[in-house]
């Protein structure tokens, strides 16, 4: 049951967590995936970026954000002087591709949540950037419109951990709504400034 899974996952180190995610059957998404996509990056990173779920290319390659949205994410990282794997970890709300890239269901995000929680706990990032509505729902349990939440820094709490988050648009959304890129870049600048304050505390 859910509580047993959570308890076990919360004792795992990175390799165990990865193995468990790769073999996971906790929700229906496992039926159609090629492989699970646990996450990628620096396991000591100050920055954690969380997206929605793997798409076709991620499902094929086993790495998050390697398709078109991923290229935009790389540009977003570069805009604030970051790069994949260098002080950055990238994960998704769900680790398996929803068929046809549909939005993950709340039940799927809930089933997958222990993995994300453990990733956050192992990483203890200084700031979590939430990319889009699904990440906000998975991490903060908030379901308002993204427009009402973007740029806001809400605190993620888990046990003793209190980690600031910053909400911005998902890169795949930005590819379809290019004028909103300016707003996303504003959010990124705010995230960069926030990190500066946090590391200087």
Between 68 and 199, name the residue whose CB sits nearer to ligand URA: 68
108 binds ligand URA (CB under 6 A): no
Stretch 182-201: interaction string toward ligand URA, x if CB under 6 A: --------------------
Q: Per-residue string for binding with ligand URA, 42-81, x by CB under 6 A?
A: ---------xxxxx--x-----xx-x-xx-----------
Q: Which is nearer to ligand URA, 59 or 163 (CB)?
A: 59
H, E, C per residue of 32-61: CCCCCCCCEECCCCCEEEEECCCCHHHHHH
Select the residue interacting with ligand URA from 20, 92, 117, 119 (CB under 6 A): 92
Provide, rounded to whole angstroms, the least separation between the CB of residue 184 and ligand URA. Answer: 14
Question: What count of other Cβ atoms lies within 10 Å of the Cβ of residue 4?
Answer: 8
Dist. CA 143–CA 82, nearest whole Å: 29
Minimum CB separation of residue 201 from ligand URA in Å reads 30
Q: Select the residue whose beta carbon is closest to ligand URA and give its number.
A: 51
Is 69 buried (19+), middle (13-18) or exposed (0-12) by CB count in 10 A? buried
Structure tokens at 150: 């973007």
Q: Which residues from 136-175 bind ligand URA, rule CB under 6 A?
A: 172
Show Cβ contacts of residue 147 under 8 Å, excluding neighbours closer than 6 positions: none
Q: Which is nearer to ligand URA, 65 or 115 (CB)?
A: 65
Evaluate the CA torsion angle 127, 9, 58, 150 in order and state its sign.
negative
Structural element, H or E, at residue 81 = none
Query: Tokens representing 89?
Result: 């970890």
Residues that bind ligand URA (CB under 6 A): 51-55, 58, 64-65, 67, 69-70, 92, 172
């Amino acid at each position: 049951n859910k509580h047993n899974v959570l308890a076990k996952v919360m004792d795992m180190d990175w390799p165990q967590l990865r193995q468990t995610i790769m073999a996971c059957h906790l929700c229906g998404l496992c039926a159609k995936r090629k492989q699970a996509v646990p996450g990628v990056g620096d396991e000591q990173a100050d920055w954690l970026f969380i997206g929605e779920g793997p798409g076709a290319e991620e499902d094929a390659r086993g790495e998050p954000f390697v398709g078109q949205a991923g290229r935009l994410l790389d540009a977003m990282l570069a805009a604030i002087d970051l790069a994949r794997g260098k002080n950055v970890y990238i994960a998704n709300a769900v680790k398996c591709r929803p068929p046809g890239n549909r939005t993950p269901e709340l039940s799927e995000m809930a089933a997958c949540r222990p993995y994300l929680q453990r990733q956050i706990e192992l990483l203890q990032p200084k700031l979590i950037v939430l990319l889009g509505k699904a990440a906000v729902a998975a991490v903060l349990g908030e379901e308002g419109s993204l427009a009402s939440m973007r740029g806001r820094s809400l605190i993620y709490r888990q046990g003793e951990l209190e980690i600031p988050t910053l909400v911005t648009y998902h890169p795949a959304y930005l590819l379809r709504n290019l004028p909103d890129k300016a707003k996303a870049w504003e959010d990124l600048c705010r995230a960069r400034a926030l990190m500066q304050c946090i590391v200087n505390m």
